[in-house]
Amino acid sequence: MTETGVSLLDMTNISKSYGHVQALQDVSFNLRSGEVMALLGENGAGKSTLVKLLSGLITPDSGSITLNGEPRTLGTPSAARAAGIAVVQQEFSLVPTLTIAENLFLGSGDVRGLWTGKRLANLARPLLDTVGLEDLDPRRFVSSLSVGELQLVEIARLMGRNAEIFILDEPTAALSDVEIVRVMQVVKRLTAMGRSVIYVTHRLGEVFQIADRATIFRNGRSLDPVPVSELTIDTLVERLLGRHLGEMYPPRAASLGAPRLEIKDLSTPGLSAPISLTARQGEIVGLAGQMGSGASSVLRSVMGISFTSSGTVHLDGTDITNANRQKAISMGVGYCSDDRKFDGIFQLQSVMKNLSSAAINRFSTAGWLSNSRERSLAGQVASKFAFDESRLPSNAGNLSGGNQQKVAVGKWLAISPKVLLVEEPTRGVDVGARAEIYRNLRTLADEGLTIIFASSDMAEVKGLSDTVMTFYRGRLIRVLPAGEITDQQMMLDVTHASVSSTPTTDAVNLSDEV
């Protein structure tokens, strides 16, 4: 590790409340130069409030911030920038219709005169090199980049602004494993150059790979920072929750019912060879694969989102090949994409309206809604998915990520589904809510629901599924009962030969979703 020790940033006794809600209470935070400090906590523990403070979006009610030993106020975003603090946004701040080079210098004021393509490209080159994007042409348009590349370009942009402190807010949430490796390498490079990194994440494994110390937030308070070398995954989880998590994954199904969803020789965009699969009543099937592996293409095709060019899909013996969404839903198929903000929830509508949205015909008669029937339907869904009913009137957008995800998945219970298709069931969800979602899904499966999910999180696929199917580049590699597959085998399957070597750009550009 790099030499750490000089205290760079010190926040002491910071408090911040919104109305009568205390978001941060007497929080202290310390960052040394050249270190990676992991910032951990469940959704709503105060991590994002701290990030907002550091980026100058809000001001603390009390407490002090010192930078390099000097007291500072970071009242505005520009003051924070001037202090050398840079936030790598979850929602990227790059302009898709401009080139990479143009984005790197947009608003910096460093490049005077004409912005000719060649000149900018030359200036951009060294910045891109420092973030490991040696192969990327700076004259490419940002809209053509993968999510991982976007993140790295964003870091390069902030490097160009001479930022000292980089805040990475869940940088890997939307990335495939291969891309995560690249981001990790860049983080290491940043600290080697003497920059400091605050690394906010829900993926605890990453803490051990990358962080020097960890600060844990719980219910708006901070615990003292701990060197990662003194932690184990178990002690870390315990500190996070303030209690034992118990089993992360519930026990698998004892017995499975009759075949429910039968897919035969299915071909669809995203798959390079036809696949077949049978999912039984009460079974959870996990499709493991990186982005663009074809795992989610299977789900999209069943739901009629993408076209099934050949092959058949049968639900309880009824042919539903290329059924449109309304048909699939009325047959009892629910589908939840990997991006809940895009098409999973209505952020500005109440939780109740969200939970009932897929089943409007269940509480209406001849087009007339019944409020009482809607309430009781939403109440049933909420209690089935362990969702606090007092939260039904709040706007879904005001919930934590974990609860939003519960809404996005749970709303399908309103249609009394036979089959639930879920992409990335716990993306961007904290460890506590994650365990809860796993438990809920298993309970539903025990009641006879068939669940098929696609995920790039290998531990999740292995832990939650009864049957595991691995995908690589549009091909089904292997089908095995989850109890019989090893972690190594899965990792090898989904990354193929590149598991031990450094990922090549070729492997990174697999994604066909960009």
Partner 1 sequence: MSTIVETAAKPRLIMSRAKAFNVALAVGVVVVLIVSGLTQPEFLSVDNLVATVRAAALIGIAAVGMTFITLTGNFVSLSTEQTAVITAILCAMALGAGWPMWAAVVVPLAVAMVIGALQGIFVALGLNSIITTLGAGAAIFGIANVITDSKTIQARVPDPMWLGTARPLGIPVQVWIFVVLVLITMVVLRKTSFGRTVKMIGSNSNTARSSGLRITRAVVASFIIASVFAGICGVLLVAQVNQAKTLNFTGFNIDVVAAVLVGGTAIQGGEGSTLRTALGAIVIAMLTNYMLLAQYEYGTRLIITGFVVGGAVIAFNWVRGKSSS
State which residue, 7 or 394, has the beta carbon closest to partner 1: 394
As a whole number of angstroms, the longest Cα–Cα distance in the chain is 72
The whole-angstrom separation of Cα 275 and Cα 97 is 37
Minimum distance of partner 1 from residue 47's CB (angstroms): 10
Cα 131 to Cα 153, 165, 364: the distances in Å are 8, 16, 55
Tokens describing residue 12: 């002491």
**Shortest Å, Cβ 412 to partner 1:** 9
C-beta closer to partner 1: residue 433 or 507 = 433
Nearest to partner 1 of 342, 484 (CB atom): 342
Helix (H, G, I), strand (E, B) or coil at 86: strand
The whole-angstrom separation of Cα 106 and Cα 156 is 12
CB 111 to partner 1: min, Å? 33
Q: Which of 24, 37, 44 is nearest to 226 (CA)?
A: 37
CB nearer to partner 1: give 138 or 344.
344
Q: Which residues have C-beta within 8 Å of that of residue 159, sequence separation ≥ 6?
A: 127, 130, 131, 190
E runs forming strands in 308-379:
310-315, 318-319, 333-336, 364-365, 368-369
Residue placing its CB nearer to partner 1 in the complex, 185 or 394 = 394
Scan for tokens 């030969």, then name that residue. 497
Q: Please, which residues bridge with residue 14 across strands?
A: 27
Q: Judged by CB, which is closer to partner 1: 357, or 509?
A: 357
Give the residue with the Cβ less far from partner 1, 157 or 411: 411
| Distance in angstroms (rounded) separating the CA atoms of residues 445 and 392 | 25
Locate 222 and state its tokens: 């901070």
CA gap 352, 469 in Å, rounded: 35
What is the C-alpha to C-alpha distance for residues 180 and 449, in angstroms, rounded to an integer? 33
- Kindly state the DSSP code that residue 187 receives in the 8-state scheme: H
- Nearer to partner 1 (CB atom), residue 390 or residue 500: 390
Contact 282, 445 (CB under 8 A): yes
Smallest gap from residue 210 Cβ to partner 1 (A): 24
Please identify, using beta-carbon distances, which residue of 162 and 376 lies nearer to partner 1: 376
- Please choose, from the candidates 433, 337, 430, the residue with its C-alpha nearest in 3D space to the C-alpha of residue 386: 433
The residues of the shown chain that bind partner 1, judged by CB under 8 A, are 18-23, 41-46, 49, 219-220, 241-242, 325-326, 328-330, 335, 337, 342-350, 353, 357-358, 360-361, 364, 367-369, 388, 391, 393-395, 397-400, 402-403, 411, 430, 432-433
- The smaller minimum CB distance to partner 1, of residues 47 and 195, is found at 47
Q: How far is the CB of 289 from partner 1 (least distance, A)?
A: 21
The whole-angstrom separation of Cα 447 and Cα 46 is 37
Minimal distance, residue 459 CB to partner 1, in Å: 21
State the nearest-atom distance from the C-beta of 474 to partner 1, in Å: 23
- The distance of closest approach from Cβ of residue 349 to partner 1 in the complex, given in angstroms and rounded to an integer, is 5
CB of 1 to partner 1, least distance (A): 31
Report in angstroms how near the CB of residue 63 gets to partner 1 at its nearest: 18
Residue 434 in tokens? 């994650």
Contacts of 58 (CB under 8 A, 6+ apart): 16, 49, 52
- The alpha-helical segments, DSSP class H, found in 222-314 are 233-241, 295-302
